[in-house]
Every structure is written in C-alpha cells, then in structure tokens.
Amino acid sequence: MRTAARESERKRRGLKDEGRVRGGRLPDLAVDLGFLKLRNPVIAASGTFGYGLEFKPFVDLEKLGGIIVKGLYFNPRPGNPPPRLAESPSGLINSIGLQGIGVRAFCEKVLPRLEGLQTPILVNVCGETDEEYAAVIDFLNTAQRIAAYELNISCPNVRKGGQCPALSPDHTFSLVKLAKETSRRPLIVKLSPNVTDIASVARAAEEAGADALSLINTLLAMAVDVETRRPRLANIFGGLSGPAIKPIALRMVYQTASSVKIPVIGMGGIMTGRDALEFLIIGARAVEVGTANFVNPGAAVEIVGGIQAYCREKGISRVADIIGTLTTG
Amino acid sequence: MVRVSGQPYPLLRRPLSIHDRDGDSLEIFFARTGLGTGILAEKRKGETLDILGPMGKGFTLPKAVKGKAFWLAGGGRGIAPLYFLAQELQAKGGRPRIFYGGRSEPDLPLLRRLASRKWEIFISTDDGSAGFPGLVTVLLEKELARSVRPAVIFACGPDPMLKRVGEIAAEHEIPARLSLESIMGCGIGACWGCVRRIRRDGAPDWVKICEEGPVFSGNEIIWDGGKTPSPSSPPARGGEKMGPTR
C-alpha cells in the first residue's frame, strides 16, 4: 500500500522513477497513516485553521498534507465570553469554548466551498455527551469529502461534572468504542496531555478500535493580571499552546508511539520544519501544526518546505524513512 | 497585523491601525504599552516589517460625503485611524471635525499634527491640562447641542467612551460607527479569540471583530452582553486599536 501511495504521488508530481535526491530530485514527502495517504506529513490542526476557507487568501491549500477543521458539536455553539486569549512567553493560552457553527451549517455552507480540493479534509468531532459525539458522526457520515474524523475527547462532559473523557482510560475506551461503531470513516483520537499516564489512555483508545492517535491537545493553564488581580481569561483556565509546550509534547508523543501499534500524529508547538522533524524522528507518522498558523498563515506550507530542505540536505529520498529513527543509548 | 519579531516571544502579531498613507508608504501610530510595541518602537529605518493587512472591516466612507459634516472622536491612541479617515473624508469633499481626548496633555501626542490640518479640532483632557476639562464625550455632547448635526459620528477609543458616544448618537438619531478593541490572536478569523457581543439581524452573538469588525454600528454593539475587560483593567497586550480605514 505504501509503495502504491508513493507511486501515485510521484505520478502526480510527474516523477517517473525512484528519485535520487542528490541528483536534484525532490524528496518524496508522502506518508501513510494506513487508512489515509498524505502528500506530506503536515496537517493543519483543528481550531487553528478555521474551516479551511479562512486561509484560502493566504496559502495554497493543495500544499498541505491535510486539514482538520475546527471542532464541531451537533448544534451551533456560542463559546466562552471574552477575554479568551492570553499571551504567555512563547505561548498562547486560549479559552474559546469551542464556538462553532454546528454540523448542519458545516455540511451546507462550508463543505461545498471546499469542493475540488485534493487535500484531505478531516473533521474534529466534539460532544457534551457520548451520545452527542455519536450524533455528530452519524450526521457527518452522509456528507461527502471527509477523509476521516478526529475525535476530540477533551470536551467537558456534562454528565461527568465537566470532566472530559480524555482524563480517564475507561471513559476514553467506551467513547472511542461508540464512535468507532458509529463511524463509517477512519477515526483518529486526539489525546489530552493533562493526564498522569498518557500510555494507559493511548492503549485504551487503541483497544477500543482507534485507527490513529493525535496529541498533544493544549495544556491546562492560567494567567493573572497583577494590576487588577483578576484572571486574564474570563474562563479562568485555558489551554496553553505554542513553542512553550513543544518539549512536553515530544515527551508525550514519544511515550505514546512507544506504547501503541497504531499510527501517532504528533503536535505541540511546531513552528518550523525542524520542529516537525523532531516529532517524526521520535515516531510520529505525521504532524499537526496549530498555533503557528495564527502567527503566520503560511506557516504549515513553510514547514513542508523546511522538511523538504532537510531531506535534500541530508540526502534522504523519502521522508517516511525518518519516522521512528531516534537513536538512544 | 504586525509581527514585531521573528522570535517566539512575543508570539503573536499586534493589531495596529493604518494612521496615514502616502503613495506606496503606510504609517502606523502606536503607543508603547508592552513587550510587543516596545520591540516595534526600537525598529530603525531600513528594517523590514512583516505585516498582514489591511484586515477586517474598518471605517468606510458613506455614499454622500461632499459638503457634509462628520465628527470623529478619538480617545487616547484611538485617534490613530481617525487621522487617516479624516483625510479620506476631506479628500472627498467632506468636513471632518475632530474630538481628541486624553487623561492629560502628554496623552495627546498628535495635537500638533492635527493642528497642521485645516480641520476643526476640539480637545479635552480629564485633568484640564489642555482644552476642555473633562471627558471627550461630554465635550462632544455640548457641541452637539449648539452645532449643525453631523451626518455620521466615527469613534475609536476605550470601551466606556465608545459606549457613551453610541448613546449620544442614538439620542440624537445620528449614525455612529465605532471601532472596537479586543485581544487578537491571528487577525484572519481563525482563532476565534477576539469576539465581542454583537447583534446582527436577530440574536446577539459572539462575533469575531477581526473579520466582521473592528468597526460596528453603535446599535449593533451590546455593551453588557458579557464580560469585557473592566474600564480599570489595562489594555490588551500590545493593546493598540485596530481600525484600518479603507
């Protein structure tokens, strides 16, 4: 399968045979998640790329490996009151509250406008209850143009006192199982870093049938205004993202990739091609780029360029060959 | 949206309004209020600045401008985009009148620049160190009682000032166009961080002001619809008004 993917990718690029990089050929950036082949390993992360359309004026969407659109609940959702953002050293704390347009508006107003795009569109699926997750998936199952779902198990659950499923291996297992049974498409499960043992949650998701895992979501954080002695976010807590979290993300992606057999997609503070390469080297099959999109709408495409430049410089013909090549000891 | 540095800290771009235009060059006018604007203030001639813009929906010129009066009220650094707007109005034959208020005279750094124009200028300071002693909104209301009413009132400044301008305009049935402020993450509608409470044909909603604003009609803005920074709280980091005029 992997070879077939490369073959078609080469055909698309007009390359005939196995390219030797030093001969000036472009390295093959294609990666394979098993259920989905990507032209390159860089995916725009949910919640940082809008519904894709917002970035059309700034970037060629066909240069991305994939796009994960902003998390969808079943109904439109108002989100949290402002202030919703607080900048911190090399980071951003947000408490948007998953404001969104709901599945119906997404299918009727957004998806048609992404028609013709070759880049896989993935949908981040949210729910206040397990049943809502299933309802969102059920609704989206009938829509065209969706390559896979990313299950956002970090949504506050109204039946569990606001605790999100990601914090418990048991709840993760039962929710992923339900989602998998409902889904007609591959299911990526997005894990939260706010746990003591990421491997146990990762294994629970794998056992429940997840096709892949993605991590890390944001780290629970807060910031205080010392002038007013008030929290800088109306919601008091928010999620920290950006370069500040990359070392933690790397550690958790490494631990996860070492504990499961399904593909792992790494994210957390990736700003450059070299940041992305760190995640690939420790075993991530692909990466998601998030906060960098806010700073520079062209960030994800520039990261693809950075990975490509690294491969050329090192004489690596296929980026897939880098995955999981960390040398220890 | 201005990126002040290629380094990861400060991470985000700063929302700044266009202050003036001259051929191919743009001018931005900002207050040094934090780390981001501090770095920006250190830039020297010849350096390159990474800018995205103009973004959002700024002040727009009404269809009929010629011969009409327009009042522009700026609070503190909120004056920045109004300078550009006044020039555009004047170029189309409009008659801009500027209200410029601050805490004290040093808070009104554009006084001399404004005076070099042939606009009517009304100054106020909270401490009376220059012009009318008191709030710029009080001055505006006083002038409204004895002048020909303007076709539109444009304003940019802190929330309490904008709220009062909106009220005054509504009382006199004059359209108000107000430029709101919020902490902005991206400026392109992707992060959903900069929302304010806005009513548009129907129920109030949290609306991204980077995309659908930052300029709104006075009657669209809901001032008590949700928690917004209290008047005593310091401005957003970098905290400059975003109000590109188009």
Which amino acid is present at A269? G
**Tens digit of each residue's pLDDT, chain B (246 residues):** 999 999 999 999 999 999 999 989 999 999 998 999 999 999 999 999 999 999 999 999 999 999 999 999 999 999 999 999 999 999 999 999 999 999 999 999 999 999 999 899 999 999 999 999 999 999 999 999 998 899 999 999 999 999 999 999 999 999 999 999 999 999 999 999 999 999 988 889 999 999 999 999 999 999 986 544 443 333 333 333 333 333
Does the pTM surpass 0.95? The reply is no
Domains plus CATH for chain A? 2-322 (3.20.20.70)
Please report, for residues A48, A200, B47, B87, the alpha-carbon distance to residue B53 in angstroms, rounded to integers and kept in the order given. 19, 46, 18, 20
Q: Which two tokens stand for residue A57?
A: 């004026």
* B31, B239 contact by CB (below 8 A): yes
Interchain proximity A81–B206, CB inside 8 Å: yes
Q: How far is A250 from chain B (nearest CA, A)?
A: 18
Q: Output the CA torsion sign for B152, B238, B224, B189.
A: positive
* A194, A252 contact by CB (below 8 A): no
Sheet-wide strand order for A219-222:
A85-88, A91-94, A237-241, A219-222
Q: What is the CA radius of gyration of chain A?
A: 19
Q: How far is B227 from chain A (nearest CA, A)?
A: 6
Interchain proximity B194–A58, CB inside 8 Å: no
Q: Is A126 a catalytic residue?
A: no
Indicate whether A7 pLDDT > 90. no
With tokens 């699926």, the residue in question is A125
Residues in chain A: 329
Residues of chain A with C-beta less than 8 angstroms from the C-beta of B205: 78
Indicate whether A2 pLDDT > 50. no
Interchain proximity A87–B12, CB inside 8 Å: yes
What interface predicted TM-score (ipTM) does this complex get?
A: 0.88
Q: How far is B163 from chain A (nearest CA, A)?
A: 17
Domains plus CATH for chain B? 69-220 (3.40.50.80)
Return the HEC string of A6-72: HHHHHHHHCCCCCCCHHHCCCCECCEECCCCEECCCEEECCCCCCCCHHHCCCCCHHHCCEEEEEEE
Of A107, A155, A164, A311, which one is the catalytic site residue? A155
Interchain proximity A82–B182, CB inside 8 Å: yes
- Per residue in A267-303, pLDDT (tens digit) is 999 999 999 999 999 999 999 999 999 999 999 999 9
Most A CBs within 10 Å, among B181, B192, B233, to test the A interface: B192
Where on the phi/psi map is residue B173: left (φ > 0), alpha (ψ -120 to 50), or beta? left
**pLDDT number for residue A24:** 64
**pLDDT number for residue B232:** 38
